[in-house]
Amino acid sequence: MEDIRSQLLKKSKKAKLEHFGKALSLLCISFIVLVVLAIFYFVASKGVTPFFKNGVKLSSFLFGSEWNPSAVGTDGKPIVGALPMIAGSFIVTFLSAIVATPFAIGAAVFMTEISPKLGKRVLQPVIELLVGIPSVVYGFIGLSVIVPAVRSVFGGTGFGILAGTFVLFVMILPTVTSMTVDALKSVPRYYREASLALGATRWQTIYKVVLRAAVPGILTAVVFGMARAFGEALAIQMVIGNAALIPENLTTPASTLTSILTMGIGNTVMGTLENNILWSLALILLLMSLFFNIVIRLIGKKGAMK
């Protein structure tokens, strides 16, 4: 009896393998969470240093319009107003999303509702190719084509918000289109069949049924594209002009958080105010990325509830 009882209580080889798989998965998840928390702690600890060590006021940093960390103002405080970069980042992000969204929805509707075969054979590979192009290539194309075109049409140097918007529009268009296609494909087929059975035309079905049912997925795609546009660095740096000034119009040189970061992080000494204040800009980028992720999750949760 004891032998039978011990054999029954003994874990089988499959059970041991299952426990090993669970432990390995838990270890991987724990490592990823630890890396994310370490990144947040590292950037946050560096980003708050100017406010506790260098005497920089948070209000002066967020709402100041002059950026010259190596100089001191009349009040004896360093000139570190980040408003021009924050404004530049938000303007190019929203403008590129506004321009890209109609094109992405139109392309997705064509690929899923009008001509699925052509969309699958031709447009889908083209979109995948655009997603894989490195950002430096987009920057070179913007520098060689978009900047001269803006200069010849609108005057000025060609560098500025408008050139940056066109480059980011092309960069986020494949991402928004691809996610919008997935959102339209996820709409149940019986939605379309029920609409057509009630006498609705094809366009009425697309506009009033399919697109409305896919709104949460489309919004998620747009916010995801905005998150990518907000964090883009190299391509936008090559066309925006990198002038730390409040944008007066769309054709004057401006700057973004990422363009100032990529230009300055390699030319400053670790531990100095010039270096610490760049970490504060990086902290803003990190918080905005977190904000975009929260918005995407909220939209997805709302869509799931419907």
Q: What is the tens place of the pLDDT at every residue in 232-268? A: 888 888 999 888 888 888 888 898 998 888 888 888 8
- pLDDT category, 300, cuts 50, 70, 90? confident
Does the pLDDT of residue 154 top 70, yes or no? Answer: yes
Whole-structure pTM value:
0.84
Chain segment 13-24, per-residue pLDDT in tens: 778 888 889 999
Does the pLDDT of residue 216 top 80, yes or no? Answer: yes
Q: What percent of the chain has pLDDT over 70?
A: 96
Does the pLDDT of residue 304 top 70, yes or no? Answer: no
User: DSSP label at 241?
Assistant: B
- Determine the 3-state secondary structure of 61 from DSSP: helix
H or E element at residue 78: strand 78-80
Domain 80-303 CATH class label = mainly alpha
Q: What is the pLDDT of residue 303?
A: 61
- pLDDT category, 39, cuts 50, 70, 90? very high
CA distance 41 to 44: 5
- pLDDT category, 99, cuts 50, 70, 90? very high
CA distance 240 to 138: 13
Does the pLDDT of residue 9 top 80, yes or no? Answer: no
In 186-214, which residue ranges form alpha helices assigned H by DSSP? 189-197, 202-205, 211-213
Q: What is the pLDDT of residue 162?
A: 92
Q: What is the pLDDT of residue 1?
A: 64
Residue pair 246/91 in contact by the 8 Å Cβ criterion: no
Residue pair 200/209 in contact by the 8 Å Cβ criterion: yes
Q: What is the pLDDT of residue 24?
A: 92
Q: What is the pLDDT of residue 87?
A: 92
CA distance 163 to 146: 6
CA atoms within 13 A on the CB side of 117: 0
* Phi, psi dihedrals of residue 158, rounded to the nearest 5°: 95, -25
Mean pLDDT of 153-173: 90
CA distance 113 to 47: 48
SS3 content of the chain, % helix, strand, coil (to 5): 75, 5, 20
Q: What percent of the chain has pLDDT over 90?
A: 32
Report the chain's mean pLDDT, rounded to a whole number.
87
Does the pLDDT of residue 305 top 60, yes or no? Answer: no
Residues with Cβ < 8 Å from 74, sequence gap 6 or more? none
Select from 208, 205, 211 the least CA-distant residue to 183: 211
Count of C-beta atoms within a 10 Å radius of residue 215: 14
CA atoms within 13 A on the CB side of 119: 17
